[in-house]
Structure 1
Amino acid sequence: MILSPSLLSADCGHLAETLKNLEEAGVKWVHWDVMDGQFVPNITFGQHVIKGLRPASGLFFDVHLMIESPERYLADFKAAGADMLVVHAEATVHLQRTLAEIRRLGMKAGAALNPATPLSVLDYVLDDLDMVLVMSVNPGFGGQKFLPATLRKVAELRAKLNDAGRSDCLIQVDGGVNLENTGALVQAGANVLVSGSAFFGHPPFSERLAAFTAAAC
């Protein structure tokens, strides 16, 4: 299990220090929630913030684009230092083209699905994916309550990927992830868990990472 702490819940006044502390604690990934105020009712940081902080961190930058028409900015986020770009299936008209372009630019490619979006939208892009992000809350704000239907969706997605010969494709879950549901999510087939307030609200980072790792077993 990979834990990808969401910087949406971090102290934005000390992001460089936070990234350094996460790395020292043994965290490998960090999750950037990029919001535009249109696809979701919130605005956060963009490519310029990521670019400014990239030299301060060796962490894997897992960038979740909650923006309309994300294909407009793929090259910008590559230049900013993103290692993976995740786009919403609901936000881009040509999902396959967008995923293929992310890979062409040299990044890992992921597709995110809102809670009510069916898995069938992925049927013809499975070969273009490195990861699928299953939203376990409606995107836009941190601190929301986990939607229980997510467990069945993750299990169905894992079966779908395995049947298609894509057992290597990662499944990420984002929204309301905590120590109480981590074990069930991993058992259902999730590989990567995003945690915001349930992680950053309980320092020190090394001990919280250890707690999530133990909960996943």
Structure 2
Amino acid sequence: MTAVICPTVTAFDLHEYRRQLDVASGLSSRVHIDLMDGVLAPSISPELSRIWLPSEAVADIHLMYKKPMEQIDDLLRLKPYMVIIHAEAEVHHMQFAGELHKNGIKAGLSILQDTPVKNINQIMHSFDHILVFSGNLGHHGGEADLSLLNKVTEIRNEFSDVEVSWDGGISADNARQLVDGGIDVLNVGGFIQKAQDPTKAYQQISDALL
């Protein structure tokens, strides 16, 4: 399987959301949209009821919300390709995944740096996708802690055919190492969105994977 590069949108107002979404969807057929509640993540993004998804790309919504079930109606209305919630959220995870699946939406599960894989062993099989998080919640940038690739090995040992993504600190310098470590989807934020030339930055990561 060829790794997928998903440019990330992390915006705090609708003007910036539009700008970043235009950049992301102009580069890739799949994009990653961060949404934050100010509780699980310290930052606050535009409300779900006010955002839109791109017409030219499929969208994964990374819902950094403490209580994601409160957003289910807006999520079903938006109909993204996938919704990723946190293992650390206050929700019946399998029920949430079931609601998404009933409506033709894939379900993803994200684990923070300090959350051991054993904490999700009982629920991960309800999900289509596991996100290994190595960034700062609600912000572009951060460091890619490559020691977290050990989690990918643990996940694969438990659930060999699940799609696994990485979020946090991806650059042209580490993209190949992440993919070699078992990552299927690279959610790339600041390296693209903060670049003077986002197209060139995207191409640098693409070239690194050749």
What TM-score results when the alignment is normalised by the length of structure 2?
0.88
| Structure 1 residue matching 2:174: 3-state secondary structure | helix
Q: Distance in 2 between matches of 1:126 and 1:35?
A: 22
Name the counterpart of 2:64: 66
**Amino acid aligned to 2:138:** G
Name the counterpart of 2:173: 180
Deviation digits for residues 123-180 of structure 1 (CA, Å, limit 9, x no counterpart): 2223321110110124232222222322222232233322xxxx1x210111111111
| Structure 2 residue matching 1:179: 3-state secondary structure | coil
Q: Distance in 1 between matches of 2:49 and 2:99?
A: 21
Gaps of 5+ in 1: none
- The residue correspondences of 1:101-112 to structure 2 (distance < 5 A) are 101-112=99-110
Residues 50 and 81 in structure 1, CA contact (< 8 A), matched pair in contact too: no
Name the counterpart of 2:156: 158
Q: Distance in 1 between matches of 2:128 and 2:173?
A: 27
Q: Give 4+ residue runs of structure 1 displaced > 6 Å after superposition.
A: none
Q: Distance in 2 between matches of 1:179 and 1:149?
A: 18
Name the counterpart of 1:114: 112
Q: Distance in 1 between matches of 2:197 and 2:58?
A: 20
Name the counterpart of 1:46: 47
TM-aligned CA deviation for residue 16 of structure 1 = 4.1
What TM-score results when the alignment is normalised by the length of structure 1?
0.85
| Structure 2 residue matching 1:194: 3-state secondary structure | strand
Q: CA RMSD in A?
A: 2.2
Query: Which of 195, 198, 205 lines up with 2:191 in the alignment?
Result: 198
Q: 1:200 to 1:11 in 2, by over 3 A?
A: farther
Percent of paired sites with the same residue: 27
| Structure 2 residue matching 1:87: 3-state secondary structure | strand
Residues 34 and 64 in structure 2, CA contact (< 8 A), matched pair in contact too: yes
Name the counterpart of 1:5: 7
Q: Does 1:212 align with 2:208?
A: no
**Amino acid aligned to 1:38:** V
Name the counterpart of 1:87: 85
Residues 47 and 76 in structure 1, CA contact (< 8 A), matched pair in contact too: yes
| Structure 2 residue matching 1:154: 3-state secondary structure | helix
- The residue correspondences of 1:15-26 to structure 2 (distance < 5 A) are 15-16=17-18, 18-25=20-27
Residues 135 and 175 in structure 1, CA contact (< 8 A), matched pair in contact too: yes
| Structure 2 residue matching 1:6: 3-state secondary structure | strand
Q: Aligned residue pairs: how many? A: 208
